[in-house]
């Protein structure tokens, strides 16, 4: 058992160093812009590039910061005895994403290729590229993302933090029972392969993009994908011991630290101001201001309706439901944020907040044990948001892109949206099921019953998260 | 010597301690416990499902006294900890064979 | 009782959806800037607008982030048994603010109107507006804020995060005893009505603005107003059970988690770098650098003098006093930050740190129970900061605005400042008292004695914040 | 004893106010750029200055935010009974830094002077300066930093947040036994004197700069210096009671709160996106994107190798080692981030992650008790990073600066790096030892044995950090 | 009256409580304790050094009953708390002299 | 059988446990308690107001032993836990009627 563990970590280590060394002596793709004696004209456009780049980087930092949000929400809503494990998962997942997306993910997603995946410039960002040149001036192999005039590394970094999010979503749903090593492996797979493939379909110029599907900041590309992979994981893993009685009744397992969970949700809310407005990938004043406002309005509205729904339906304003409500609003507005009006964003948020509460209850009815509500937030509302874009989009905001949604006279868009939802869902769910089963067969998926009872902290990491009570540390 | 154990409501602790002090009690050992009794617990709610928390926070006092003051101590606790509402707690009295003060090695009455 | 609760939440729900639907089909006010074939000249100014907009948005994000700071400071300085309630209050308050300020608050504050409140473009941001046009080129109904060349939505979003702060300040002072629903209602009232009215006086071109009162980033507009409303709440509510003995002695109720309280204060310090430098609402290099530095210098100085004062006066360097000290310095420099020199900011900070410690002790002497020191920080130092602006301002920093303060030869300014302090104070305190009493009469204000003892977490939310001790979760 | 304490705090208070008042009436150095009727040309360059300034300020905010990271990592990895003390130390240290660097530190570091320290414009930023003028146009006394075209205050603020970091590093290593007042005094000394002197050598145009040593964002200037000072402190203080048995065996003292420690590490990771990319001090699109990516890649790689090393070598993936791994990668890439390729950054990170785990074990073998691993992270990896720059640098990234490192054909650079490492190390260690001993002689350094056992929270601050368990607060 | 103290595995608490309830026990006082016994503790690991955690989390029940039901209570705990694996815990029985209900002042059997 | 309860200073726990182990004690149950006694508490300070924390953290050991080793156990605790300073704690000895090992159902001496 122990040896098996070693074997795999050594494998990873080898792979990493190999790729590192290979990469180190591969030619770098980024063209250094020659800058001697610039004309006024050039300075202006350098200013524009710099402006766009700092916007892209700063918003990317905000999205990176969401890792802290996910870590705290998940650990806060789970039990103290699994805290170290959850924190470790959430912490290491971004490191894994960084490497996996660098090695292969980016190339599959944005490399020129066929409608299903990228083929050129596949590994280590080594394809030809003359960013920040845009449009026709762009000569390189990552042409699907040539619309933004920032350096390649800025594009990569921004996309990387998004890729990291998808894996993190899975973490929450499979918490408190998955083996550490198995989660690590799945994270490599989702960020290196699964996410980039469907990402290619929509953002990489693939078949859904061609069909006219839109997803501004990733309700589907990021959130639903994470959600489908999580659903597969939840099914393969089964519920935590003690979550459901034999006759299917729910026995709540309360979160151990609502302070950190709430802080986490606030971090996510903040991070979303990077996620959505940053997805312009350019400092377009009107667009970013509008996106910031639609994002916030949906979040606020969903917070209120989730509160009210929980209060009326369940009897009390459950804080964990309030937090889920906000996140639901944020996920739902992610696809449509740039294409809809502020009042529309308000309505989308109002609905999302109700949906998420119902979804949490529903998943429990289905005995699908999702400790943090990741499915209700990311899968259900990612889907809802993608759909809502087909209803509420208005052509006037980004003329020549989405066209109008159903409520404003268009139908084509909605059909494309539904196709995207189904296509991505079926593919991601199936490939994830396969991935989970392979991991299960090879290294196993779930910790032992004894370890689950005593806690994964002691089992997987040999340490406890808290020594807070006065005398304890003196014992 | 007697060992008096009292389970009381937590917010009464300070008052009880002060009163015991007044009647001459020099030492008390206190621990946090959870009590299950006639007093019903409360219902908590989490993510749409309810569950009953049967165990209520109580405080347990252990007081070792000589036989002669035992009754006074019991009375004092009873009077001070009483709110008249269910869940006020219990007092249990048992016999103690010996007591030793670690610092000095004194035994019996002297050790209290 | 329960029914009553339902009644009000349903009312809110109805109001929200109505406004949402109404708004959805109202014409949007933002003019999309036509951008075909731009001249160099236009690009340069587009760059300028974009630059200003990203500055405004990023600093707004930082101010948003202060919500997390307030949540953690307040919950950390209160008891564990009320943590969920406090977190829920602080979390939902920004959602409420977002909706209330959108529906009506913005219009009252910035709509063209009379010296006392705005009248035009009152609801849902629907007034005419051609931002980012500025000065004479501006044609719209929000002319008091036409000095900044960013899109309307950027202006709104920035002002919104400020409005949210005022309500949050109240939260801390009324903690551990107020009913959840009553706090929600008051938050609607303060952000929708009270704050915008006095805000209109000073920032909306109202009578105090005309008189020559200045308040750069809101020592009075935001902090004192929050403080006065909080004072009213504290008086109407009365102290927490057990805080004062019958003979008026203080029985300290220590905070339950100094880790989160300290993190909260650091978040606030960070957020203030949005609050103050962002209030330029334009990326004016000299101004924002100077404001960042005056802000930080005052905070640092106040931290040190609060530490020293607590150490000398009370015997030990109390961490909660140190944290209050920093916040006091930040609040005090908020009004003058752009108008004073760095050495002046140092002096303002040094004084603020002493004041806040004395104020905490004084409020306890007055039996005004303010669990987190909100009155000492926001009311007292908001007032002090507004006053200090009248002393330390120098015309050279923003020529043609404040003129010189008393220490640099001017007197007019100080008189305007004092008028503002008194005018705003009297109005806000009275209207808040009325609001609190009405809420008390209709839904009640304070939880039952039993609930207060057992904790609002179980009473209001049916859940506990922490399950941290090892065995506990297995019981 | 108590009186002694008072004496020193009064001294500090007096010093502070004196300097404040003196400063208040000293002429301010910043030249207000005249801005009437600007030509297009001027606007473009105003845009450029504004752009650079917001980049510098925002990244400075991120670096400021690292204070929260240090506070949480340190307090989380120490015991509950010392939490208030650790938080207070970490909180107040930035206030101290702000004042010390303002009063004297900046002048020593960046004032024109000799190769060893600055002489002109020493106090309170009062030297002549016409920033944002750069290069030959610059007329002032801070010419070593005239390469960046931002206002003086922006330069100062950015450098200030770096100075603060050095003192914070020390905090972690001396935790759980140092007297509060002694730490405060040492912080004044390091930020006011020690850090600026060696800083002058490298960033202030001193002898190492002239020799051709490079340290882009401070692996040596900030991290190693902090590390050397910390090492001196650890030696003078001795280990915590109970850390080592008489026969030199380690008795682990587990951290009390891994949630906050992990959050802290994530904050630091985020903050580093200010630390490194911000050190361009200009919004140069290519440079900042590349630096962001090398920084993240090294961090991710180090995270993974630290995990693997801990897993293989120690048996389990220890979370505290994973966190240290990330920080090690970040520290190591700090010097070379702008001068090396992404694949090189990957390799640097891979190595840093292994080094840090070995270093933690080594320091324990040497009975040097460093509760949080500050020496392994900052000293060892600061040194490694500075050295790695001499190996991996490539001239093409910043032509005309570093030249090529050893692996790309250059040797001169590596020699300069090694000289820098040794020179800075010897000086900083010796002067720190002296400083620690003087403090020890005058006010004492270590709390009493009894206080150490009962905890510094009660001893130094008279308060406990946590009252979390249900009944506790009712007792 | 008898005082029955039982040290059991924490996850068995709910079950034991329910069974005791069925046999008519009306009050239980529970506390969290750490047990050291034949069951070995586990090894933890921190920053490269191992250490043994000898003390395992256990739950202690205190139940006061009249003499006649004592044996039934013992049996019930034994049957319910048993997993057959080392560390299942112990039951200790001792004599109690008096019991008082604080709320009413009732003493002896009536107080239980 | 005897039940020995000892209230000691927390930092002495490890040592006491080791010594008891040496004299053959096979089981100990430990709980965190707060003690009030001759040893004065300390003053804490919060936001300008002082308050006395009377209750100091102590550790309580419960050890069930056969009558013959009881005295040795008492002596061992006394010697090991002693610092000679006030607040070292107390040892209380009482009689135990029965002990049961849940895992096996053994009773009396065999159960210890
Ligand atoms: N038979 C018992 N054995 C042990 N503890 C008991 C017993 N009966 C009551 N208690 C303790 O006393 C507390 C109060 O008892 P309860 O029945 O709720 O109220 P009351 O004593 O007023 O009838 C309980 O929470 C429990 O801790
Ligand atoms: N002699 C004793 N005195 C006090 N507590 C004991 C004694 N022996 C055992 N215990 C308690 O019972 C628990 C279980 O005992 P252990 O020896 O581990 O398993 P088992 O009872 O199955 O042999 C211990 O953790 C301890 O709390
Ligand atoms: N009569 C008593 N009943 C219960 N516990 C006692 C009694 N006397 C002392 N203790 C416990 O013993 C501890 C130490 O007692 P204390 O009087 O402070 O010191 P010493 O025993 O050295 O005189 C107390 O903190 C308390 O927990």
Which residue in chain E is spatially nearest to D312 when comparing CA positions? E48
Distance CA A87, CA D299 (A): 17
Q: Which pair of tokens denotes residue C184?
A: 């929600």
Which is more confidently placed, B48 or F100? F100
For residue C29, the model assigns a pLDDT of 40
- Residue D360 CA, chain-centre distance (Å), reads 19
Q: Which pair of tokens denotes residue D374?
A: 């500050």
**What distance in angstroms lies between residue A214's CA and the mean position of ligand 2's atoms?**
64
Which of chain A's residues have a Cβ under 8 Å away from the Cβ of D293? 153, 156-157
Q: Which of F35, F58, F86 has most ligand 3 atoms within 8 Å of its beta carbon, as the pocket-test mutant? A: F35
pLDDT tens digits, one per residue of A7-53: 555 555 555 555 555 554 444 443 333 334 566 677 778 788 999 99
By DSSP bridging, strand B49-53 and strand F42-46 are unpaired
Beta carbons within 8 Å of D205's beta carbon, 6+ residues apart: D112, D143, D144
For residue D30, the model assigns a pLDDT of 39
Q: Does D309 touch chain E (CB under 8 A)?
A: no
**What distance in angstroms lies between residue E56's CA and the mean position of ligand 2's atoms?**
10
**What distance in angstroms lies between residue F68's CA and the mean position of ligand 2's atoms?**
19
Residues β-bridged to residue A466? D257
Which is more confidently placed, D9 or C293? C293
Inter-chain CB proximity F35 and B17 less than 8 Å: no
For residue D12, the model assigns a pLDDT of 56
Across the interface, of D469, D470, D475, the residue whose CB is closest to B13 is D475
**What distance in angstroms lies between residue F81's CA and the mean position of ligand 2's atoms?**
22
Q: Which of E33, E42, E90, E91 has most ligand 2 atoms within 8 Å of its beta carbon, as the pocket-test mutant? A: E90
Task: Please answer whether residues D96 and D184 qualify as being in contact, where contact means their C-beta atoms are separated by less than 8 angstroms.
Answer: yes
pLDDT tens digits, one per residue of C73-96: 999 999 999 999 999 999 999 999
Inter-chain CB proximity C474 and E58 less than 8 Å: no
pLDDT tens digits, one per residue of A339-369: 999 999 999 999 999 999 999 999 999 999 9
Inter-chain CB proximity D286 and A6 less than 8 Å: no
pLDDT tens digits, one per residue of D120-154: 988 778 888 888 888 888 999 999 999 999 999 99
| Average of per-residue pLDDT across A428-441 | 97
The full DSSP string for D92-155 is HHHHHHHHHIIIIIHHHHHSSB-SS-B-TT-STT-S-B-TT--GGG--SS-GGGTTS-S-HHHH
Q: How confident is the model at residue A468 (pLDDT cuts 50, 70, 90)?
A: confident
For residue C27, the model assigns a pLDDT of 42
Give residue ranges of E with CB < 8 Å to any B CB.
3, 17, 26-31, 64, 94-103, 105, 111
| Ligand 1 near B38 CB (within 6 A) | yes
For residue C345, the model assigns a pLDDT of 97
- For atom 10 of ligand 1, which residue has the closest CA? E27
Considering every ligand atom, which ligand is closest to the CA of B104? Answer: 3
| Ligand 2 near E8 CB (within 6 A) | no
Inter-chain CB proximity C91 and A266 less than 8 Å: yes
Q: Is a pLDDT exceeding 80 seen at residue C12? A: no
pLDDT tens digits, one per residue of F8-34: 998 889 899 999 999 989 899 999 899
Q: Which of B5, B29, B104 has most ligand 3 atoms within 8 Å of its beta carbon, as the pocket-test mutant? A: B29
Inter-chain CB proximity E90 and F98 less than 8 Å: no
Range of weakest confidence among A181-185, B87-91, D387-391, F34-38:
F34-38
For residue A12, the model assigns a pLDDT of 56
| Average of per-residue pLDDT across B100-109 | 90
**What distance in angstroms lies between residue B73's CA and the mean position of ligand 3's atoms?**
16
pLDDT tens digits, one per residue of D8-35: 555 555 555 555 555 544 444 433 333 3
Inter-chain CB proximity B37 and E17 less than 8 Å: no
Q: What is the mean pLDDT of chain D?
A: 90
Which of chain B's residues have a Cβ under 8 Å away from the Cβ of E95? 94-95
Q: Does C399 touch chain F (CB under 8 A)?
A: no
Considering every ligand atom, which ligand is closest to the CA of B31? Answer: 3
Inter-chain CB proximity D24 and C277 less than 8 Å: no
| Ligand 3 near B24 CB (within 6 A) | no
Distance CA C374, CA C359 (A): 10
For residue A31, the model assigns a pLDDT of 38
Distance CA D81, CA D84 (A): 8
| Ligand 3 near F85 CB (within 6 A) | no
Considering every ligand atom, which ligand is closest to the CA of F102? Answer: 2
For this complex, say whether ipTM is above 0.90.
yes
Distance between E31 CA and the closest CA of chain B, angstroms: 5
pLDDT tens digits, one per residue of C345-375: 999 999 999 999 999 999 999 999 999 999 9
pLDDT tens digits, one per residue of D76-107: 999 999 999 999 999 999 999 999 999 999 99
| Ligand 3 near B103 CB (within 6 A) | yes
Q: What is the mean pLDDT of chain B?
A: 90
**Tokens 């820098």 correspond to what residue?**
D420
Q: What is the mean pLDDT of chain F?
A: 90
Inter-chain CB proximity C453 and B46 less than 8 Å: no
| Ligand 1 near B34 CB (within 6 A) | no
Share of chain C above pLDDT 70, in %: 90
pLDDT tens digits, one per residue of D169-192: 999 999 999 999 999 999 999 999
Neighbors of chain A with 3 or more C-beta pairs under 8 Å: B, C, D, E, F
Q: Where are the alpha helices (DSSP H) in C174-257?
A: 180-189, 195-202, 207-211, 225-237
| Ligand 3 near B4 CB (within 6 A) | no
Q: Is a pLDDT exceeding 70 seen at residue D1? A: no
Positions of chain E with pLDDT under 70: none
Helix pair D83-100, D40-77: axis angle to 10 deg: 150
| Average of per-residue pLDDT across C12-31 | 50
Distance CA A147, CA A144 (A): 8
Torsion of CA A451, A452, A456, A458, to 10 degrees: -40
Distance CA A359, CA A324 (A): 11
Q: Which pair of tokens denotes residue D203?
A: 């960033």
| Ligand 2 near E90 CB (within 6 A) | yes
pTM score above 0.90: yes
Tell me chain E's radius of gyration from C-alpha atoms: 17
| Ligand 2 near E87 CB (within 6 A) | yes
Q: How confident is the model at residue D441 (pLDDT cuts 50, 70, 90)?
A: very high
Q: How confident is the model at residue C28 (pLDDT cuts 50, 70, 90)?
A: very low
Neighbors of chain D with 3 or more C-beta pairs under 8 Å: A, B, C, E, F
| Ligand 1 near B37 CB (within 6 A) | yes
Q: Is a pLDDT exceeding 60 seen at residue C13? A: no
Across the interface, of E11, E34, E46, the residue whose CB is closest to A463 is E46
The full DSSP string for C336-389 is TTTTS-HHHHHHHHHHHHHHHHHHHHHHHHTT---TT-HIIIIIIHHHHHHHHH
Inter-chain CB proximity E78 and F102 less than 8 Å: yes
For residue B98, the model assigns a pLDDT of 92
Q: Does A160 touch chain D (CB under 8 A)?
A: yes
| Ligand 2 near F31 CB (within 6 A) | no
For residue B112, the model assigns a pLDDT of 83
Range of weakest confidence among A172-181, B73-82, D48-57, F34-43:
F34-43
Other Cβ atoms closer than 10 A to C235: 14
Q: How confident is the model at residue A472 (pLDDT cuts 50, 70, 90)?
A: very low
For residue F48, the model assigns a pLDDT of 84
**What distance in angstroms lies between residue D245's CA and the mean position of ligand 2's atoms?**
29
CA–CA distance from C397 to each of C290, C338, C339, D228 (Å)? 9, 7, 6, 42
**What distance in angstroms lies between residue D193's CA and the mean position of ligand 2's atoms?**
60
Which of chain C's residues have a Cβ under 8 Å away from the Cβ of D9? 308, 311-312
DSSP tag of C178: B
For residue A248, the model assigns a pLDDT of 86
Helix pair A180-189, A152-173: axis angle to 10 deg: 140
**What distance in angstroms lies between residue C215's CA and the mean position of ligand 2's atoms?**
69
For residue C32, the model assigns a pLDDT of 36
pLDDT tens digits, one per residue of D383-425: 999 999 999 999 999 988 888 999 999 899 999 999 999 999 9
Q: How confident is the model at residue D263 (pLDDT cuts 50, 70, 90)?
A: very high
Q: Is a pLDDT exceeding 50 seen at residue C36? A: no
∠ CA D472-C68-C176, nearest 5°, is: 40
Q: Is a pLDDT exceeding 90 seen at residue F80? A: yes
Which residue in chain F is spatially nearest to C256 when comparing CA positions? F46
Neighbors of chain E with 3 or more C-beta pairs under 8 Å: A, B, C, D, F
Inter-chain CB proximity D316 and A462 less than 8 Å: yes
Which is more confidently placed, A163 or B38? A163
């Amino acid at each position: 058992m122990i040896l098996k563990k070693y074997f795999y970590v050594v494998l990873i280590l080898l792979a990493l160093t190999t790729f590192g060394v290979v990469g180190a002596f591969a030619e770098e793709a980024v063209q250094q812009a020659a800058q001697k004696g610039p004309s006024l004209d050039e300075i202006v456009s350098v200013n524009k590039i710099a402006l766009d780049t700092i916007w892209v980087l700063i918003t990317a930092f905000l999205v990176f910061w969401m890792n802290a949000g996910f870590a705290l929400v998940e650990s806060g809503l789970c039990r103290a005895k699994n805290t170290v494990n959850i924190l470790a998962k959430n912490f290491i997942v971004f490191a894994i994403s960084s490497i996996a997306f660098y090695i292969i993910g980016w190339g599959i997603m944005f490399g020129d290729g066929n409608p299903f995946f990228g083929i050129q410039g596949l590994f280590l960002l080594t394809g030809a590229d003359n960013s920040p040149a845009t449009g026709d001036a762009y000569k390189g192999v990552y042409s699907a993302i040539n619309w933004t005039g920032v350096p390649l590394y800025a594009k990569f970094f921004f996309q990387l933090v998004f890729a990291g999010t998808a894996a993190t979503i899975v973490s929450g749903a499979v918490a408190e029972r998955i083996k550490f090593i198995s989660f690590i492996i799945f994270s490599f797979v989702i960020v290196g392969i699964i996410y980039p493939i469907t990402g290619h379909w929509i953002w990489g110029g693939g078949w859904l993009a061609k069909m006219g599907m839109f997803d501004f900041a990733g309700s589907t590309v990021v959130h639903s994908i994470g959600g489908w992979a999580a659903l597969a994981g939840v099914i393969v893993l089964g519920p935590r011991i003690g979550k459901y009685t034999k006759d299917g009744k729910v026995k709540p397992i309360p979160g151990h630290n609502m302070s950190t969970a709430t802080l986490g949700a606030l971090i996510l809310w903040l991070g979303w101001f990077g996620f959505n407005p940053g997805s312009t990938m350019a400092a377009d004043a009107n667009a970013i201001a509008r996106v910031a406002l639609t994002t916030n309005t949906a979040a606020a509205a969903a917070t209120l309706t989730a509160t009210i729904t929980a209060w009326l339906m369940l009897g009390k304003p459950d804080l964990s439901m309030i937090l889920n409500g906000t996140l639901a609003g944020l996920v739902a507005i992610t696809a449509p944020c740039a294409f809809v009006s502020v009042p529309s964003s308000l309505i989308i948020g109002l609905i999302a907040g109700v949906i998420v509460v119902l979804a949490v209850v529903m998943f429990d009815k289905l005995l699908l044990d999702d400790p943090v509500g990741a499915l209700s937030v990311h899968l259900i509302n990612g889907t809802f948001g993608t759909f809502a874009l087909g209803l509420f989009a208005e052509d006037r905001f980004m003329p020549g892109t989405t066209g109008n949604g159903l409520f404003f006279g268009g139908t084509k868009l909605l059909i494309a949206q539904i196709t995207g939802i189904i296509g991505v869902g079926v593919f991601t769910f199936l490939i994830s099921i396969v991935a989970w089963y392979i991991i299960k067969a090879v290294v196993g998926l779930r910790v032992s019953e004894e370890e689950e009872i005593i806690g994964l902290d002691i089992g997987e990491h040999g340490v406890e998260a808290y020594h807070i009570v006065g005398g304890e540390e003196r014992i | 010597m007697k060992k008096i154990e009292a389970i009381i409501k937590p917010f009464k602790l300070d008052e009880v301690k002060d009163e015991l002090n007044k009647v001459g009690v020099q030492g008390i050992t206190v621990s946090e416990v959870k009590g299950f009794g006639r007093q019903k617990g409360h219902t908590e709610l989490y993510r749409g499902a309810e569950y009953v928390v049967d165990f209520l926070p109580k405080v347990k006092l252990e007081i070792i006294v000589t036989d002669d003051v035992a009754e006074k101590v019991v009375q004092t606790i009873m009077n001070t900890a009483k709110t008249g509402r269910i869940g006020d707690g219990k007092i249990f009295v048992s016999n103690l064979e010996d007591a030793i003060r670690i610092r000095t090695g004194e035994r019996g009455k002297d050790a209290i």
